[in-house]
Every structure is written in structure tokens, then in C-alpha cells.
């Protein structure tokens, strides 16, 4: 089936894999298959087919993490003859990626890199015959899969792979729509053609009880939360809710509701309610730390709130919490408390017993927090025969240095070889890692997500029997999370069975010889004619959807493609929704580490984007006016966009101070401040600037309009105002300093910089305009 390219002697070809691949090689398919049952092999079968029949085209294999990208690249190299995949990650330079894309036909990449290259128009997908989306359930919201799925020309195939598509049928179908998947193949571990390949998985959960000292702390924190929630309810939000049963999700939903109402109302009560929600979310996180993680994590978090409350301009929420008598008592008790969470000792006991029983065991301990991973690793180092190591993400967090890509790969290799035998991992280790020798997975805490639960559990029992142990702190949210995940997983399985029944009763895909031109085989009551009508409607919707894509629509005419609209974006902004929206408007995104501004529209226009909280913080620490000075000195048309609500409520800053700052920006620095509600509105304004600037360049408009009957002084000033970045005030200073227009024109860059308000960039532009020909 897979031709001569797949090294069939190196794999165990299973019937269900061949059946699924025979469909997926002709139709864009979502494959839902339990962990450890060879989704990657199915992808390799489909890839081999595409390579044989469309050698001149590319295959793109996407995976969410760099360790997974490395793993897939190895599998492709080892199992497909003569395959030489190129790995794309952020560590490969953009110009190098552009060349590698042109020169290679198999690319394995993280999706963020491909999204960035598409936005910068370094690559396009028109010559791509297949895109594989590993962990396809991620194709929701702002995740990079969504952008790539919309940008991909539907002439090629897509293949989605997942073991955990989510509990809602609508979510599954939404992923299919986003990625252009027109067929779903579902297998469970109970199916006859699969069951013989599954391994026994023993599941066990262990009750853990909090010591009385820690229980007292939890009760005091809950008392604070109850009081904050009662105040929120007085404003008409969260009515009828029991404070002790309120989840983080409930609080965030209420926060979003308040923010939505703030858009249409300026009532001070809404800002008060928003501040109370903020403090409730903080205290809820503190309870989570106390119940599930332990005193050390809780102490660090409360100290963080205390430092914010004591800082100049600290949030009202933090200040209010630290004024609570219960919070002072909690801090005092934490300082005297020399205890760990009892889970830490339980993990040590479980690992010790497993190593005594099977000394060559490999174990993975999952936890949500890095500080907990550190504490567990230190505790496990006390065990004879245990060789633990942390496996965490790349980002540096609060003084904790992350693992770079090479370090992550080396850690996995060392774990596979036995140099380490216990991996203490955060969420980065949950998805897709294929380590067949893992005997046991320990959940330090349950997670409420059925997807994450399945992913964690799937790291064991892949090639042999395995064991999962879940630690649950009694009478805490651990219990709620455990049962929530079980309910969602049960619902997911039920919905998958219903979805499969729907597919089997409506349409079925058979051998290519048995299907009509649309690829459907009629089963049950629906006629071929009706199915064709439905497909026609679907095709029409798809066509409309394609025409609506403004980012990379190959149906546009060449004139539109070569519009030339582009913008330079600071690297710190490149993952924001603003940039994604700009790319969808067919604006080429160039990224650079900008020292001034966040978005450079042209040599004259730069935009500094500030969310309200950042604006207020920069006003407090003085950055605002330093940035404003740099903007006005280097750009003729500097702009500040102020994004979001709550300018006068979010920080303990007097209104008059904010009025003064806005007035100073407008009058002293000549910088207009534009207000937007959110990222989409910000993107719309910036896009309009780009389009207007592009049109102005094409029209070759006169730089300035003529003025009527001016005095000699006004004429001289008018001439100098025509120089780059020179305002009326700067023109006056130049005349005052040099005495005449001639002397200004004769000055070099150093002499020009002696005038207040003229920096190196402006001086360079002036000399360039005066001196250069053309």
C-alpha cells in the first residue's frame, strides 16, 4: 500500500493503520487513535504515498514542541527511504529557513515558526502536497495551527492526528473545519482490530491528607475569598454562587462579563467590581497553591502580592488583600511553618517502592509548577538508585532558567538510555513523547482537562504494561479536578461513538473503485443525488471561505499579491493578535529588534502600542517620557496607541497625573494618543496607516502645500520645516542656533545634534536630504 519508500521491515504494519492510511492518502482526514497505537506510522504511510506520486511537491509535518519535532524528524529519517527532513525551529535563522524551504521537500517544524514565515512571506504553501498536524486538537483560538490551516490551499491534503480531541462534538468538527479535514477515522482501544495491540494499564489513586497547620491556612484564605465574592455579588455578578464552590473558570467568566459591560458603560461600580474579581482570582490561586502544591509555593506567591502592594502604583487588588488581617496571619504562620506538602513524601515513597521492585524502571512525575518540580527532584535525589532530573520548557521564569532545545533533546535521550530514571516534568512533557520504556506515570496533582489527563497517562503502557498513580489531596480541589476530568473523558468517548455512528449511517469511504467522483459511497437512506447536493453546498461554503481569506489567498490576481504593503514589527510583538490580524489583511510582516517603537509603518511613522496597565506602569517608572522623546526625535509622525479599558481605575494614580501625561504627549512631544478597545481594533488602525502610507507613496504627492504671503522669517522657518522630522519648534531652534538657512544646510551631523531635540537619526536624515543627489 505504502509503496517502496516505507521501510516495512523496520515497523509492524497493522491492519487498522493500513486501512486508515488507505483513506487518508486520498482525503484530508482526522485520525483519532489512543496513545501508543502508532498515529505517526499512519502519517509516514501517507507521506510515502505523496512522495512517490508528487515528488516535486513539499510535505510539512507540524508538531507543537521542539522535542516532538526532533522525534518526528528521526522517525522520518529512519523509516522512509532516502528521506532527509529539515527541522525548522526558532533557533534556525529566518533567511536560512527561506533557503531550506526552497531546497527541501520534507520540513518538520513547530507551527509558530511556519506562521511567522508565512506572515513575512518568506514561504508559501502553494507547492505543498501534504500538511500533517500532530496533536490536531490544538487547532483552536489563536494557536498557530489555525492561521496555517486558513492559509493552506485546499488543493493539497491535510492529516490531523490526535488521541484527545476534546469532550464536545462541536469542538471536533470545528478543528476539522479549521484544518480542512473532510473525513474522520476513529478507533478506540476496545475495537477488535486495535485491542490486541493495547497494553494493560493499571490505574491507582492515593488519598493524601493535609496536616492541621496547613488546613488552618487554607481556611483563612477561603474566608478572604468568601468576603471578596460577597462584595462582587453586591454588584450583581456571581449571584447565587457558593464562594467555596466557585472555580477559576467562574471568576474569569465574570471578569469577561464585567469587561464587556465596561465597553458600553463607564460606571465606577463596574471598575470596583473588576478590582474585586482581580483580588478573588489572586486569592483563588493562593488556595490552589495551599491545597495542591504546598507552603513553599504559597509563600512565594503571597510575597509576590505583598511586593506588588508595596510598590509605587501597585494594583488596588493587591493592596486590598494585604490589608486583610487573615493575610497577615497567613504570612506569619508560613514563616514559622517548616513543612512540605505531604504529596512530596508520597512521591518519594512510590518511587522508592518501584525501584526496589524493578531497579531498571523509568518513571515520569508530572506537576503543574516548576517550583514543585524542583522540590520533588531534590527529594528524589535522597533515594538510593534514583537519578531524577527536571524536564521543563524553554522560557526563563522568575529566575528559573528554562531548558533550551538541545538541553531538552539531551534530557530525553539520557532518560531513554537510563542515565536518568525519573523525569520530573511540567506540561512540556505531556504531549506525544514516545518513550517506550516508561513503566510508571505519577500525577502530583489531577488536572481538570480530559485532554491533558489522556496525554499524561499516555506516556506509559506504550509497548508494555504500565501504571498510573494519581495523588489527590482529600477535601480539596484535587478531588473536583479528578472527577471533572473523568466526566469529560467519559463524555468525550460517548461523543466519539455517536460521531462514528453518524458517519457510518450517513456516508462511508470505501475502496476508490467503489466511490463516486466526490469520494463518497452511499450507505443507508441518503441517495447519491442528495449527498452530491450537500457536497455542492459544502464546496460553495468552502469557496466563499477561501475568497474571504485576505492573508495568503492564491486566487488573488498578481496585482493584489504585489501590493507592497508591509510593516516592521518589534520581535516582542510578533506573537500578538495584532500581528496576526495585520497578516490576515495581506500586510507583509518584517520582524526586527526595534529600539524605538513597536511598529514602524515607514521612515516617518512609528507606533508605540501600550496596554492600559503598561501605560500606567511606564508613567510610574518614567519609561513613558523616555520613549516619547525617542519617538519624537526619530520619527516625523510618532503615534501612541493606548489599548484597553480602566485607565483611571487600574492603578492608584490620580486622574490629574494621567491627564497631565496625555497633555504632555500631545503638546510637548507632538505625539497623538489613539484609544482602542482591544487588539483587533489596534490592528485595524495600524493596517489603515499602512494602506494610506502605501497609497501616498504611489501618488507621489507634494511633500508640503504652498503657503501664501509669508514674512522672511516665516519663509526661512517654512523651508526648514521641510526637512525630515523638523517641527515648527525645531525649525525655530535651528534658526536661533545657526542664524540662517545657509548655515543649517552647511552643518554636519555633529553640529546639528547640538540643537535641543535633534538626535543622531534626525541629524543623519537632514544631512542625507541636503547632500545626496536624485
For 36-79, the pLDDT digits (tens) are 899 999 999 999 999 999 988 999 999 999 999 999 999 999 99
What the block records as the C-alpha cell of 453 is 489527563
The Cα–Cα gap between 357 and 365 comes to 18
The answer to whether 47 touches 57, Cβ cutoff 8 Å, is no
Q: Which pLDDT band holds residue 527 (cuts at 50, 70, 90)? A: very low
Q: Which pLDDT band holds residue 773 (cuts at 50, 70, 90)? A: low
pLDDT at 767 over 90: no
Least confident stretch, 270-279, 460-469, 482-491, 511-520: 511-520
Cα-Cα-Cα-Cα dihedral sign, residues 449, 169, 164, 51? negative
Buried b / exposed e along 718-743 (16+ C-beta atoms within 10 A):
ebbbebbbbeeebbebbbebbeebee
* Helix/strand/coil for 751: helix
Q: Which of 51, 116, 68 is nearest to 580 (CA)?
A: 116
Partners of residue 405 on adjacent β-strands: none
Cell 508560613 identifies what position? 334
What is the pLDDT at residue 4? 66
Tell me which of 104 and 9 has the higher pLDDT.
104
Consecutive H or E run containing 275: helix 268-288
Q: Which pLDDT band holds residue 523 (cuts at 50, 70, 90)? A: very low
What is the pLDDT at residue 30? 96
* Interacting residues of 78 by C-beta distance below 8 A, sequence separation 6+: 7, 10
Rounded mean pLDDT, 365-382: 96
pLDDT at 244 over 50: yes
Rounded mean pLDDT, 411-417: 93
What is the pLDDT at residue 563? 56
Question: Using the 8-state DSSP alphabet, how is residue 186 labeled?
Answer: E
* Interacting residues of 771 by C-beta distance below 8 A, sequence separation 6+: none
Tell me which of 533 and 369 has the higher pLDDT.
369
The Cα–Cα gap between 314 and 733 comes to 40
The Cα–Cα gap between 471 and 483 comes to 13
Backbone phi, then psi, for 611, in 5-degree steps? Answer: -75, 155
User: Which stretch, 113-127, 252-266, 743-757, has highest mean pLDDT?
Assistant: 113-127
Tell me which of 695 and 113 has the higher pLDDT.
113
What is the pLDDT at residue 509? 36
Share of the chain above pLDDT 90, in %: 59
What is the pLDDT at residue 529? 36
Tell me which of 553 and 463 has the higher pLDDT.
463
Least confident stretch, 125-134, 507-516, 628-637: 507-516
Write down the pTM of the prediction: 0.74
Q: Note the pLDDT tens digit of each residue in 585-596.
A: 989 999 888 889
* Interacting residues of 431 by C-beta distance below 8 A, sequence separation 6+: 64, 65, 68, 135, 455
* Interacting residues of 180 by C-beta distance below 8 A, sequence separation 6+: 28, 149, 152, 154, 158, 542
Query: Strand 440-443 to strand 363-366: parallel, antiparallel, or no bridges (unpaired)?
Result: parallel
List the Cα angle 136/140/146 in 5-degree steps. Answer: 80
What is the pLDDT at residue 264? 64
pLDDT at 541 over 70: no
What is the pLDDT at residue 560? 40
* Interacting residues of 581 by C-beta distance below 8 A, sequence separation 6+: 679, 680, 683, 684, 687
pLDDT at 757 over 50: yes
The Cα–Cα gap between 247 and 287 comes to 11
Cell 441518503 identifies what position? 526
pLDDT at 514 over 70: no
CA max distance for the chain: 99
The Cα–Cα gap between 112 and 90 comes to 8
Rounded mean pLDDT, 286-293: 96
Q: Which pLDDT band holds residue 482 (cuts at 50, 70, 90)? A: very high
User: Which stretch, 260-269, 309-318, 552-561, has highest mean pLDDT?
Assistant: 309-318
pLDDT at 151 over 50: yes
What is the pLDDT at residue 647? 86
The Cα–Cα gap between 102 and 647 comes to 48
Beta strands in 34-105 (DSSP E): 58-62, 86-88
The answer to whether 631 touches 608, Cβ cutoff 8 Å, is yes
Rounded mean pLDDT, 146-160: 89
What is the pLDDT at residue 71? 94
Q: Note the pLDDT tens digit of each residue in 678-732.
A: 999 999 999 999 998 877 665 433 334 344 456 788 788 878 888 888 877 788 8
Tell me which of 687 and 550 has the higher pLDDT.
687
What is the pLDDT at residue 267? 73
Q: Note the pLDDT tens digit of each residue in 193-232.
A: 999 899 899 999 999 999 999 999 999 999 999 999 999 9
List the Cα angle 58/63/66 in 5-degree steps. Answer: 110
CA separation, residue 692 to residues 197, 605, 631 (Å) = 62, 11, 20
Cα radius of gyration rounded to whole Å, the chain: 31
Amino acid at each position: 500500500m505504502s509503496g517502496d519508500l516505507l521501510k516495512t521491515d523496520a515497523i509492524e504494519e497493522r491492519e487498522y493503520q493500513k486501512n486508515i492510511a488507505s483513506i487518508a492518502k486520498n482525503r484530508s482526514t482526522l485520525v483519532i487513535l489512543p496513545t501508543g497505537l502508532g498515529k505517526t506510522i499512519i502519517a509516514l504511510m501517507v507521506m510515502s504515498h505523496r512522495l512517490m506520486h508528487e515528488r516535486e511537491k513539499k510535505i510539512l509535518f507540524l508538531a507543537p514542541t521542539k522535542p516532538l519535532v526532533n522525534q518526528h524528524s528521526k522517525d522520518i529519517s529512519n523509516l522512509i527511504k532516502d528521506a532527509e527532513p529539515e527541522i525548522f525551529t526558532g533557533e534556525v535563522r529566518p533567511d536560512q529557513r527561506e533557503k531550506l524551504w526552497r531546497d527541501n521537500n520534507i520540513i518538520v517544524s513547530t507551527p509558530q515558526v511556519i506562521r511567522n514565515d508565512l506572515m513575512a512571506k518568506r514561504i508559501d504553501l502553494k507547492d505543498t502536497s501534504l500538511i500533517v498536524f500532530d496533536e490536531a486538537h490544538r487547532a483552536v483560538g489563536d494557536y498557530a495551527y489555525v492561521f496555517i490551516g486558513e492559509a493552506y490551499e485546499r488543493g493539497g491534503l491535510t492529516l490531523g492526528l490526535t488521541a484527545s480531541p476534546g469532550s464536545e462534538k462541536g469542538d471536533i468538527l470545528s478543528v476539522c473545519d479549521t484544518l480542512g479535514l473532510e473525513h474522520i477515522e476513529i478507533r478506540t482501544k476496545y475495537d477488535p482490530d486495535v485491542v490486541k495491540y493495547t497494553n494493560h494499564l493499571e490505574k491507582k489513586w492515593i488519598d493524601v491528607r493535609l496536616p492541621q497547620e496547613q488546613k488552618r491556612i487554607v481556611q483563612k484564605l477561603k474566608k478572604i475569598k468568601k468576603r471578596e465574592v460577597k462584595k462582587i455579588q453586591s454588584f450583581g455578578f456571581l449571584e447565587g454562587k457558593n464562594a467555596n464552590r466557585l472555580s477559576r473558570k467562574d471568576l474569569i467568566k465574570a471578569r469577561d462579563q464585567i469587561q464587556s459591560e465596561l465597553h458600553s458603560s463607564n460606571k465606577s461600580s463596574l471598575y470596583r467590581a473588576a478590582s474585586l474579581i482581580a483580588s478573588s482570582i489572586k486569592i483563588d490561586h493562593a488556595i490552589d497553591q495551599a491545597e495542591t502544591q504546598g507552603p513553599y509555593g504559597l509563600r512565594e506567591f503571597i510575597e509576590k502580592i505583598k511586593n506588588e502592594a508595596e510598590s509605587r502604583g501597585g494594583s488596588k487588588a493587591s493592596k486590598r488583600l494585604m490589608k486583610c488581617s487573615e493575610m497577615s496571619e497567613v504570612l506569619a504562620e508560613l514563616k514559622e511553618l517548616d513543612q512540605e506538602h505531604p504529596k512530596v513524601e508520597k512521591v518519594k515513597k512510590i518511587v522508592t517502592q518501584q525501584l526496589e521492585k524493578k531497579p531498571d524502571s523509568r518513571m515520569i512525575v508530572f506537576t503543574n509548577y516548576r517550583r514543585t518540580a524542583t522540590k520533588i527532584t531534590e527529594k528524589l535525589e535522597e533515594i538510593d538508585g534514583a537519578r531524577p532530573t527536571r524536564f521543563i520548557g524553554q522560557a526563563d521564569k522568575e529566575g528559573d532558567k528554562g531548558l533550551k532545545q538541545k538541553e531538552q533533546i539531551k534530557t530525553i535521550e539520557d532518560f531513554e538510555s537510563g542515565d536518568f530514571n525519573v523525569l520530573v516534568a511540567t506540561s512540556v512533557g505531556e504531549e506525544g513523547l514516545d518513550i517506550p520504556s516508561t513503566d510508571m506515570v505519577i500525577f502530583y496533582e489531577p488536572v481538570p482537562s480530559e485532554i491533558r489527563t489522556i496525554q499524561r497517562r499516555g506516556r506509559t503502557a506504550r509497548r508494555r504494561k504500565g501504571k498510573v498513580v494519581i495523588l489527590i489531596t482529600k477535601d480539596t480541589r484535587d478531588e473536583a479536578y479528578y472527577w471533572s476530568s473523568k466526566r469529560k473523558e467519559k463524555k468525550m468517548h460517548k461523543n466519539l461513538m455517536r460521531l462514528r455512528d453518524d458517519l457510518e449511517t450517513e456516508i462511508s469511504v470505501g475502496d476508490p473503485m467503489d466511490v463516486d467522483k466526490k469520494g463518497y459511497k452511499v450507505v443507508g437512506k441518503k441517495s447519491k443525488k442528495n449527498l452530491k447536493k450537500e457536497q455542492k453546498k459544502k464546496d460553495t461554503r468552502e469557496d466563499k471561505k477561501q475568497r474571504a481569506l485576505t492573508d495568503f489567498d492564491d486566487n488573488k490576481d498578481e496585482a493584489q499579491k504585489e501590493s507592497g504593503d508591509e510593516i516592521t514589527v518589534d520581535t516582542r510583538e510578533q506573537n500578538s493578535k495584532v500581528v496576526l490580524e495585520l497578516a490576515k489583511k495581506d500586510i507583509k510582516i518584517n520582524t526586527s529588534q526595534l529600539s524605538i517603537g513597536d511598529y514602524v509603518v515607514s521612515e516617518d511613522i512609528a507606533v508605540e502600542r501600550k496596554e492600559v496597565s503598561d501605560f500606567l506602569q511606564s508613567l510610574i517608572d518614567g519609561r513613558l517620557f523616555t520613549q516619547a522623546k525617542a519617538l519624537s526625535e526619530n520619527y516625523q509622525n510618532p503615534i501612541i496607541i493606548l489599548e484597553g479599558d480602566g485607565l483611571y481605575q487600574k492603578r492608584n494614580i490620580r486622574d490629574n497625573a494621567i491627564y497631565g501625561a496625555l497633555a504632555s504627549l500631545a503638546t510637548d512631544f507632538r505625539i497623538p494618543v489613539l484609544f482602542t478597545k482591544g487588539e483587533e481594533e489596534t490592528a485595524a488602525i495600524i493596517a489603515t496607516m499602512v494602506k494610506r502610507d502605501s497609497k501616498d507613496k504611489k501618488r507621489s504627492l507634494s511633500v508640503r502645500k504652498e503657503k501664501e504671503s509669508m514674512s522672511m522669517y516665516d519663509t526661512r522657518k517654512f523651508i526648514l520645516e521641510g526637512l525630515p522630522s523638523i517641527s515648527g519648534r525645531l525649525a525655530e531652534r535651528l534658526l536661533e542656533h545657526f542664524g540662517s538657512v545657509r548655515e543649517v544646510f552647511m552643518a554636519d551631523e555633529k553640529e546639528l545634534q547640538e540643537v535641543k531635540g535633534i538626535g543622531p537619526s534626525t541629524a543623519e536624515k537632514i544631512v542625507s536630504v541636503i547632500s545626496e543627489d536624485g
